[in-house]
Structure 1
Amino acid sequence: MLRRDGAAIALLYGIGGVGKTAIAKSVYNQNFYKFVGKSFLSNFRSKHIVCLQRQLLSDILKKTVDEIHDEDEGILKIKDALCCRRTLIVLDDVDKRDQFNKIIGMQNWFCKGSKIIVTTRNKGLFSANDTECVKFQVKPLDNKNSLELFSWNAFGRAYPLKDFVEDYWRIVHHCNGLPLALRVIGSSLSGKGREIWESALQQLEVISNFEVQKVLRISYDFLDGDCLKNLFLDIACFFNGMDVDDAVRILDGLDKGARFGIDNLIDRCLVEINSHQRLWMHQLVRDMGREIAHQESPKCQRIWRHENAFTVLKGTTVSSSIFLCLLKWFVVH
């Protein structure tokens, strides 16, 4: 029997659609044959814990396991299965630490040489005290790789057709290195004529691709509480690109508890503080936030478009919440 000596853990974190799952799949496919037990648990966030426990045991034992009735029973059976097998496990899209614990349990259950790969949008899933965990941030692609990925999906080759040079650079700039957006938009334009490209470009300037927005919105929907969601929307609409201290000063004046909230959003890979100490959101994450705010427009909570601000100012009455939003708008612009 192999000695139980814990498992090495790699945490891949980043915004939705940035390629965490693709990297994990590639590493898994290139290495699974080296392990006695292996399992890739995809879409972790959307599945019930007992279902995931059954799948993990079925994969490791190489037979169907149905006789798990609750989480505690599952944990005990997983412990027995892991204690004598060198194992490779991928947990895809984990959101909370207790989800991880109910599947993996204690790391010292694992045989020496076992590996766990976790993909997540929550950088804070493991604390700094988890010395067994190595964290890797998956960042958007640079222009060269963005162009190549988009070209493969749009043209079936590594470089675009000459007739589309101006158009594809506009799309690559819009996607800002996000692989999901490059693949989805590239595939949707594959084989289409110039008039379709022009129409798509005009639409992208106003409405971001629905499939991309649906994936990005998962991060927003899983934020804890309305306060954090409102802070995210405020930053998307008004404070993206602003000096972080200036933004905190304004937000704290509105009783937002901004420092703590911003730190949470950073852990959730929705916001960064760049090298110039400014708040920064990926362009498509910002657009997603603004689209959510736009859907709330009947409440008149946030106004960042010039034309909408002028419309409100022409009205006969302005609520206090609108007034505060307009004040913020003038500060930013």
Structure 2
Amino acid sequence: MEQLSIDFNKSICNDINIYAFVEGSPIDNQWGILVPKASAIRLADNNYYIVEDANHLTICKPPSKDHLSYSKLLDCLKLFMKEKNTPPMPPSPCYGVGLEDKAKAINNLLQKESIVALVGMGGIGKTTLSRKMFDLFHKEYDKSSFLEDVKSKHIKDVHKRLLQDLCDKKLQGHEDVHKYLHEIKQCMITKKVLVVVDDVDMINNLEALQLLIHNHATNVDCKSKVLVNCRNWQDLKNHVKESAKVDMEVLNEEQARELFMFHAFKDANHVTNDFKNISMEIIKACGGLPLSLEILGRYLCSIDDLEIWMDALRVLKAGRNITGGYDNELLWKTLKISYDHLDEEHQDMFLDIACFFTDLKKNTFCRVYGNTDGSSSPMFKLQNLKDRSLIKWAEDGSLYMHEQLRDMGRNIATKVTMSRFIWKPNISLQKNQV
């Protein structure tokens, strides 16, 4: 028999007069009693602890099924087996600003909707928030699964993970997962299940979600819930209601300062004014983007040379690699994923906006941009960029994009030769130059 150790909660075990049951090696428990192998301790009528043979019938069996101790013991064993069979948890973020409140808001929305979508640009914290929500609430469900970075996974691997987490079935490499897919559907319908699908990328990934986006499983009365993260709302809007869409926002100034200071300074109470001032400039340049604040903070943490901090700020604004290592490269790779998936027309428009047209009213932009080449209309392309979280427009209709995306776009324009223009900082538009 597998060696198990159950440490019953004292309030529960008072009702069943059992404090520990052990199969395996002797242990020192919280009462200082050495429990021999295959033994149990119980509280006798005279309030003394007695070590007895681990006879399941005499030690664990309640007087009857109607006795309070029966339900208490059953609940305790169910809790133990649930925790024992829980799949490995995704790593929780080491530090997050306002994550718990945001996670509770997502959970509240899931009580009303069967599927909720988190939509936002790369680096804005979709995965971090999803992990926090999963960490806080997955124990409220019968089964749960966190499907991390779905865009980089093969669909069969996603299905296998679902089968393992939800149905407790681990397939061998040669087994065909398709013959078991109905079991995943059935689990979604008959049980209370939580599935988090992290970083859906392009419509192909939705094949892996068809088991989750199921008529029964997505019924508002269904207890099973699905949380999906993506950058492109177009991929999900036919499957998720607009009311269940959550647009991720950047951190406000106070939150951004808290996150950066945590990573940048071991002791924020002993920071000189010079470093405080340059910190505020860096925080402003990061534009409330959590990934950028964390990477810059970690990189500058052990550096006490003010000039290096100033150089880091200049390089950040230029959209270039700061650290010379993987961390900062990850920032720009994360931001560039959405750009790389655009066709040429949309890439051109994105670079035009980054270089020249931020803060311009979208109607004015469409008139200036025109549609003389027979391609799709400017407004249509603007909406596509907005759905992909690459641009936004304010209430007054002005176009804007996150500072990091703008700087990335301008850096791309300095390296990419196009027939239309070459962007150079502080130099006017140059046509037909190579």
TM class by shorter chain equals 0.7 to 0.9
Match of 2:205 in 1: 99
Secondary structure of the 1:118 match is strand
Provide the TM-score with structure 2 as the length reference: 0.64
- Give the partner amino acid of 1:259: M
Give runs of aligned pairs for residues 237-252 of structure 1, distance below 5 A. Answer: 237-252=355-370
Match of 2:46 in 1: none
Greater shift, 166-175 or 50-59, is seen at 50-59
Query: 2 CA distance for matches of 1:259 and 1:141?
Result: 29
Greater shift, 25-34 or 236-245, is seen at 236-245
Give the deviation of 1:75 after TM superposition.
4.1
Which of 204, 229, 237 is the aligned partner of 2:316?
A: 204
Greater shift, 271-280 or 131-140, is seen at 131-140
Secondary structure of the 1:108 match is coil
Match of 2:234 in 1: 124
Secondary structure of the 1:264 match is helix
Query: 2 CA distance for matches of 1:186 and 1:115?
Result: 36
- Cα contact 1:271–1:281 (8 A) shared by 2: yes
Query: 1 CA distance for matches of 2:316 and 2:241?
Result: 44
- Give the partner amino acid of 2:356: F
Are 1:140 and 2:250 matched, yes or no? yes
Change in CA separation of 1:44 and 1:74 when aligned onto 2, cut-off 3 Å: farther
Query: 2 CA distance for matches of 1:55 and 1:270?
Result: 31
Query: 1 CA distance for matches of 2:383 and 2:348?
Result: 14
Greater shift, 301-310 or 28-37, is seen at 301-310
Match of 1:190 in 2: 301
Query: 1 CA distance for matches of 2:213 and 2:240?
Result: 14
- Cα contact 1:12–1:136 (8 A) shared by 2: yes
- Give the partner amino acid of 2:264: A
Match of 1:302 in 2: 421
Secondary structure of the 2:145 match is strand
Secondary structure of the 1:83 match is helix
Query: 2 CA distance for matches of 1:284 and 1:204?
Result: 8
Greater shift, 185-194 or 301-310, is seen at 301-310
Match of 1:216 in 2: 335
Unpaired segments of 5 or more residues in structure 2?
1-111, 322-328
- Cα contact 2:120–2:389 (8 A) shared by 1: yes
Unpaired segments of 5 or more residues in structure 1?
1-5, 313-317, 324-333
Secondary structure of the 1:136 match is strand
1:4-26 superposed Cα distances (whole Å, 9 cap, x missing partner)? xx971111111111111111100
Query: 1 CA distance for matches of 2:203 and 2:371?
Result: 33
- Cα contact 2:292–2:331 (8 A) shared by 1: yes
- Cα contact 1:11–1:134 (8 A) shared by 2: yes
1:26-51 superposed Cα distances (whole Å, 9 cap, x missing partner)? 01001111112111011111211111
Match of 1:8 in 2: 114
- Cα contact 2:192–2:224 (8 A) shared by 1: yes
RMSD between superposed Cα atoms in Å:
2.7
State the identity as a percent.
30
- Cα contact 1:8–1:132 (8 A) shared by 2: no
Give the deviation of 1:76 after TM superposition.
3.3
- Cα contact 2:155–2:207 (8 A) shared by 1: no
